[in-house]
């Protein structure tokens, strides 16, 4: 497991918007980017989770203090539920209040509830599509319409190996993640510099990261027999056969946010210890 440390300040002056930043993979991504100098707007489902963002801010402050380095970036929390039709507007309002632009957008929060074939309700189907497809589309659209994205921005959609390793109990989840990968391919083509109307954000890349089984709250809250079944399903297929950690994924996302990856766009990267082999 990666120990928390102050890193090279290559993201100084950049702003990252990360959905679902209070826990698990989203939090690890926020810590990675903040420890490189980025200001973070991290969202969560309810105001009751905002304390977790405040804790993260304290941890980052402590890192800078320990290194005797001045901290110019800020970490801000916002309750913006991805199931709400106003989620994108709420995020935009906050960015305007903070007088930020956007350099990095990580679509991390997701509706991961199981939805078994034959048992799905209209509400469950709609909730899944709103959370995993509609809301990320609306967020990117708002950032584009308002010219909030800056040149050479990064869009990263957190996908799942479930879209390639299907299971009848996660029909809509897998479909939503596949849609997210497709969105990135289209965004990459539109925002790279080919289209005049998006020239203000030329050089922007859009990639998805296909995540394998990772030890986060949502997974650890599964009943023990279900957790064991997931481990048996996924870990033996991995090239590196251990339980993935949030930092394993955050370091891949962090890499995609660096300037060195400016030539990678429209891709799906597997962050699963080889659980799924793409390309």
Structure tokens at 138: 């609306």
User: Angle 24-34/50-66 helices, nearest 10 degrees?
Assistant: 30
From 3-11, 105-113, 141-149, 198-206, give the range in contact with ligand NAP by CB under 6 A.
105-113
**275 is an interface residue for ligand NAP by CB under 6 A:** no
**77 is an interface residue for ligand NAP by CB under 6 A:** no
**188 is an interface residue for ligand NAP by CB under 6 A:** no
Structure tokens at 90: 């709420």
Q: How far is the CB of 168 from ligand NAP (least distance, A)?
A: 17
Looking at 99-213, list the stretches that DSSP marks H as alpha helix, in order from N- to C-terminal side.
122-129, 135-145, 171-191
**Total residues contacting ligand NAP (rule CB under 6 A)?**
29
* CA 273 vs CA 213, 234, 241, 268, 277: distances in Å: 9, 10, 7, 14, 9
From 78-86, 148-156, 195-203, 257-265, give the range in contact with ligand NAP by CB under 6 A.
78-86
Interacting residue with ligand NAP among 33, 34, 109, 174 (CB under 6 A):
109
What's the CA gap between 246 and 89, in Å, rounded? Answer: 28
Q: Exposed/middle/buried for 99, CB within 10 Å: 0-12, 13-18, 19+?
A: exposed
Using only C-alpha atoms, the chain has a radius of gyration, in whole angstroms, of 18
**206 is an interface residue for ligand NAP by CB under 6 A:** no
**83 is an interface residue for ligand NAP by CB under 6 A:** yes
Nearer to ligand NAP, 29 or 63 (CB): 29
What's the CA gap between 187 and 184, in Å, rounded? Answer: 5
Per-position x/- string for 220-259, each x denoting binding to ligand NAP as judged by CB under 6 A, each - no binding: ----------------------------------------
Name residues contacting ligand NAP, limited to 39-68 (CB under 6 A).
43-46, 49
Residue 253's nearest CA partner among 64, 79, 16 is 16
Name residues contacting ligand NAP, limited to 8-27 (CB under 6 A).
19-26
Nearer to ligand NAP, 57 or 150 (CB): 57
Structure tokens at 153: 């921005």
**75 is an interface residue for ligand NAP by CB under 6 A:** no
Place of tokens 């659209």: 141
Structure tokens at 209: 């990261």
Q: SS3 of 215, please?
A: coil
**207 is an interface residue for ligand NAP by CB under 6 A:** no
Per-position x/- string for 110-139, each x denoting binding to ligand NAP as judged by CB under 6 A, each - no binding: x-x---------------------------
Nearer to ligand NAP, 25 or 269 (CB): 25
């Amino acid at each position: 497991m990666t120990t928390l440390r102050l890193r090279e300040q290559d993201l100084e002056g950049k702003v990252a918007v990360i959905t679902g930043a209070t826990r698990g993979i989203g939090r690890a991504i926020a810590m990675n980017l903040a420890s490189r100098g980025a200001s973070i707007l991290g969202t969560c489902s309810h105001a009751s989770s905002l304390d977790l963002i405040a804790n993260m801010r304290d941890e980052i402050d402590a890192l800078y203090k320990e290194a005797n380095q001045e901290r110019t970036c800020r970490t801000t929390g916002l309750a913006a539920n991805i199931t709400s039709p106003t989620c994108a507007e709420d995020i935009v309002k906050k960015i305007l209040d903070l007088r930020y632009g956007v350099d990095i957008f990580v679509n991390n929060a997701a509706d991961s509830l199981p939805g078994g074939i034959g048992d799905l309700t209209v509400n469950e189907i709609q909730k899944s599509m709103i959370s995993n497809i509609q809301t990320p589309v609306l967020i990117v659209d708002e950032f584009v319409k308002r010219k909030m994205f800056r040149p050479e921005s990064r869009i990263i959609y957190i996908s799942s190996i479930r879209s390639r390793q299907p299971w009848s109990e996660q029909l809509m989840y897998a479909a939503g993640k596949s849609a997210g990968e497709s969105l990135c391919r289209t965004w990459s083509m539109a925002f790279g510099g080919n289209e005049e109307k998006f020239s203000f954000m030329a050089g922007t890349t859009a990639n998805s990261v296909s995540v394998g089984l990772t030890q986060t709250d949502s997974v650890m809250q599964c009943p023990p027999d279900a957790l064991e079944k997931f481990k048996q399903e996924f870990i033996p297929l991995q090239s590196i056969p251990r339980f993935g950690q949030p930092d394993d994924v955050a370091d891949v996302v962090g890499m995609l946010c660096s300037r060195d990856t400016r030539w990678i766009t429209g891709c799906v990267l597997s962050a699963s210890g080889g659980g799924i082999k793409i390309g």
